[in-house]
Structures are given as structure tokens and as C-alpha cells.
Structure 1
Amino acid sequence: MSTEELLTPIMSFLKCETPQEWIDEAIKPENLDILLIDHLICELKAAQSAMFLIRKYAVDKTSGSALLDWLQPFEKLIYKREGDWRELAAKNKLTKSVIPKSDSPYGQDLIDKMVMLIKEELHHFYQVLEMMDHYGVEYKSITPCRYAKGMLTHVKTHEPDTLIDKLICGAYIEARSCERFAKVAPHVDKRLGDFYISLLRSEARHYQDYLALAQSISPKDITDKVEYFGRVEADLISSDDTDFKFHSGKPV
């Protein structure tokens, strides 16, 4: 499938395109460090978010502990600067089977989709580390972008709406990531551009997985909710932003 074919449903889902001003900023050589570091953190956050959903809504304590063990080496590298990043590829596996709670009506579906997503996100985390190594980019702590928090502040505080809203937010974050990979890829060197297109190919269906899960859990049609979060997301992307990051708004 061509890049255009992959992007068509994504672009019809998103309510706006990335502003040209963000692309102009993203392709400046001096911003490569921040782009890659923030992208690295985004991959880990995506895995953490998916894991939180499984642990909160779908599995018992034993399975939850096995999931935490899977994530631990990746988190240690970022938060404690412990371990060798080159060893992470071999550690990207779940060592125990994850069993859904008996009282979780959508547990198995949530587990199946999110475990696959976590595995992919952690693989991409490792690939971003490879890119950072190639370009001589050193990891350093950076402040979080306003984007995810700006979405999550609109999440309802009662169930099942909390879970449904978080899944819809996840869909928009995944779709926007794909759109940005496609926007940046033609303007950077071939190695990085090819990498972004490979990510677009592997992540293009993630937003649909999130939406399908949200609809299967919701007792009513989620179209209005999806529209609402789409407007929130578009505002965050198209409004002025003083902080340049992978998901930031229009640079000021």
C-alpha cells in the first residue's frame, strides 16, 4: 500500500493538517535532537498508556506484575539512566501469559490489541535509540509537551466514559503521529525519512484499533465523542505554541 493510501483515512479522521510553520521548524538541523528525544519519549509513553489500560481494566494482579516487568528495562533506561540500550531489543517480550479478569466483559480484546501495540511501541523505542546513536544525539531530560495533557483534561471522570475517552484520545495521538511522520519524511535525509515512513506503515492501523475498542466498550454510538475530541486535538495542533516538540502546535 502506498503512503498516500495509508494517509487517506488518517487525514479524513484528523480535523486539520499540521501547520507549515511546524514543518519548517521540525526540519531545521538544530532541532533534530529535540525531535528525536521527544519522539523516543512518545514511544515509551504510548506503551505505558496501553499498559495502564490493561492493568486497570483487564487483568488480575499477577498478570499486572508481569506487564510491569516487561516495561521495567525501558523505563530504567529513561528515568534512571540504567542499562545498555543495545540490550533492549532482546528484552521486548512478555514472559508470562496475561489472563483477563473473570468479570471484565471486554478484557481479552483489550489485552490482545494493547499487548500487540506495546510490543510495537517498544520496538520503535529501540529503533529511535538506534537513530539517536547514528546521529550522535545524547538523551537528556526534557519537559513534556502540552498536547497529551491538553487532550486528557477533557476525559470524563466516570466509567465507562473514562476508558472510552482515553481510547479516543489514544486514537488521535496515534493518527497525528502518523501524519507528522509523513510530513517530515520528505525533508530529512534518506535514513531518517525511510525510518519515518516505516513507522507510518506499522502504526497506521493503531488509531483504528483504539476506535474499534472504544466503540465495542461503549453502550452507545461514539461519533459525537470522536468529533468533540477531534476539535480539541485540532485546536492544540493549530494554535500558537511556545514549546517545540513532536506533537506541539504552531511555533511562535
Structure 2
Amino acid sequence: MFDQTLLAPISSFLKCETPDEWVSEAIKPANLSIILRDHMLCELKAAQSAMFLIRKYAVDKESGVRLTEWVKPYEEYAYKRIGGLESLRGKSNVTKQVTVREGCSYGQELVDKMVLLIKEELHHFYQVMEIMKNKGVPYELIEAGRYAKGLLKHVKTFEPDALVDKLIIGAFIEARSCERFAKLAPHLDEDLSKFYVSLLRSEARHYQDYLSLAELISGKEISERVNFFAEIEAELILTADEDFKFHSGKPIK
């Protein structure tokens, strides 16, 4: 169904597989709405996180405003129900010209990788919107689960370590997304299965981009910090979680 070699590095990067209990819950028809709505919002949050990193660390003020305007229409739909498929069509393809902040040695590398990621995540957001419309799944905003917050609360408070931690966390979120798409794909209808398989390659690249940026910016060995977050991430995935979401832990029966 898909290239298993894509998953080999991800399987070795993650400390655990998604539990069968989560997969069993996720493929229930009654939970399709939660999976799709949460997935769509996860794509937006990924774009927002990348935009935040560029704005905070790599570009001038004017460029930051341009990036904010790029993401804003998607935020307005997600949080205020303003707009829709017609108003968002093609907006992810806009290439935003940004100016790297003077003196930022890693700025261009961060901008290049994160702008591409934003573009792809916003396109995926739109694709999930289309799937929801085709399947008659109404959109309603849902609250975020514990997963990302459970990782981010361990970010160091000083730079550049804080940025390195955020990039490592980004790598784990992308890698887990990729792993879960692969877990779900064989159990879904043909359209949704093909869509999730189509996402595997970009998600796998995103996790590698985050890791390479973390290594570049740290300027030192990051394996100890990667292992630290790997343990936390695995605990969030393997422990009981009463709030079922795309990145949640073991469902409570």
C-alpha cells in the first residue's frame, strides 16, 4: 500500500508504536468526525508553530506580518467559521517573500524549511476540509488534547536551548503523525486511505527537517535531549487518556 522504507527511520526514532487500542477506537465510524476535525486543526497548528519560529527567531518585523497574513484566513475559518473552501482555494500556494534578520546565522535555513512546511500544512488543512465536505462531516471546533502541551511544558527557558527543544518536539509530532497515518490507512475507505498514504512522504520529511535544524542551531550533540523527549512522548502515547484525539494515548474504555 505504501513504501515501508519511509517508516523505518521513524520507527527507530519513536520509542513506541501506537497502541492497538487507539487504532481500534480511531477506525470506528462514530469517531470519524473527531479524527478528521482534529487532524485538520493539527495541520493548522503545525503551520502556526512554524510561523511562530520564523517570526520569533529569523525574520524582520515586516516579514513577520506577511507570514501572519498568510495563515490568518485559515485561522478565521478554524476559530470563527469565516470563509470556506472557495475563499481558501489556492491560498496555500502563495510564496511569501521574507527577509532574514541580520546576524542570524541559521536564519535562511530555518526560513527555507519552515516556509515550505507552512505551505504544505495549509494545503493539507484544505484537503481535510474537502474530505469532510465530501463525507458530510460538519466542522465544529474541538479543544486540543494533552499531547503537544505535555511535550512543550519541558522546553528549556534559555536560548538557544529553548529553540532546539521546540524543534525536537516538532520532529516528534511530525513523526508520530506519519506513524499514525500508516496505522490508519489499511482500515479506512479507499479515498481516505489514499489521502493518508499521500501524506506519509511529506510528514517524514518534516520530521527530518526539524531534526536537522535542531542539530544545526545547537552546534553540539543533541541525542541526549532527543532521548529525553522520546521518553516523554512515548509515555503520552502509551498511558491512559480519557480525551480521544489524533495524538491521544490509550483510550479509556
TM bin, normalised by shorter chain, reads over 0.9
1:124-139 matches, within 5 Å, as: 124-139=124-139
Query: What TM-score do you get using the length of structure 1 for normalisation?
Result: 0.98
Query: What TM-score do you get using the length of structure 2 for normalisation?
Result: 0.97
Change (3 A) 1:249 1:87: same
Task: Give 2:91's aligned residue.
Answer: 91
CA contact (8 A) 1:93 1:119 kept: yes
**Further displaced range: 47-56 or 193-202:** 193-202
Task: Give 2:214's aligned residue.
Answer: 214
Alignment of 1:30 onto 2:30:
yes
CA contact (8 A) 2:58 2:104 kept: yes
- SS at 1:136 equivalent: coil
- SS at 1:235 equivalent: helix
Following the alignment from structure 1 to structure 2, what is the Cα–Cα distance between the partners of residues 114 and 89?
21
Task: Give 1:154's aligned residue.
Answer: 154
Q: RMSD between aligned alpha carbons?
A: 1.2
Give the count of matched residue pairs: 252
Task: Give 1:4's aligned residue.
Answer: 4
Task: Give 1:244's aligned residue.
Answer: 244
- SS at 1:82 equivalent: coil
CA contact (8 A) 1:43 1:125 kept: yes
CA contact (8 A) 1:23 1:184 kept: yes
Following the alignment from structure 2 to structure 1, what is the Cα–Cα distance between the partners of residues 94 and 68?
10
CA contact (8 A) 2:47 2:117 kept: yes
C-alpha displacement of 1:137: 0.7
Following the alignment from structure 1 to structure 2, what is the Cα–Cα distance between the partners of residues 181 and 168?
20
Aligned-pair identity in percent equals 64
Following the alignment from structure 1 to structure 2, what is the Cα–Cα distance between the partners of residues 145 and 203?
20
Q: Encode CA deviations 1:37-79: one digit per residue, 9 max, x unaligned.
A: 0000000000000000000000011000110111111111111
CA contact (8 A) 1:70 1:93 kept: no
Q: Encode CA deviations 1:167-213: one digit per residue, 9 max, x unaligned.
A: 00000000000000000000111111111000112221110100000
Any unmatched runs of 5+ in structure 1? none
Following the alignment from structure 1 to structure 2, what is the Cα–Cα distance between the partners of residues 93 and 64?
18
CA contact (8 A) 2:178 2:203 kept: yes
Task: Give 1:74's aligned residue.
Answer: 74
Task: Give 2:13's aligned residue.
Answer: 13
Task: Give 1:231's aligned residue.
Answer: 231
C-alpha displacement of 1:2: 4.5
- SS at 1:204 equivalent: helix
Structure 1 consecutive aligned stretches of length 4 or more whose deviation exceeds 2 Å? 84-87, 93-96
**Further displaced range: 28-37 or 198-207:** 198-207
Change (3 A) 1:96 1:207: closer
Kindly provide the amino acid, as one letter, of the partner of residue 209 in structure 1: D
CA contact (8 A) 2:92 2:120 kept: no
Following the alignment from structure 2 to structure 1, what is the Cα–Cα distance between the partners of residues 71 and 176?
24
Task: Give 1:171's aligned residue.
Answer: 171
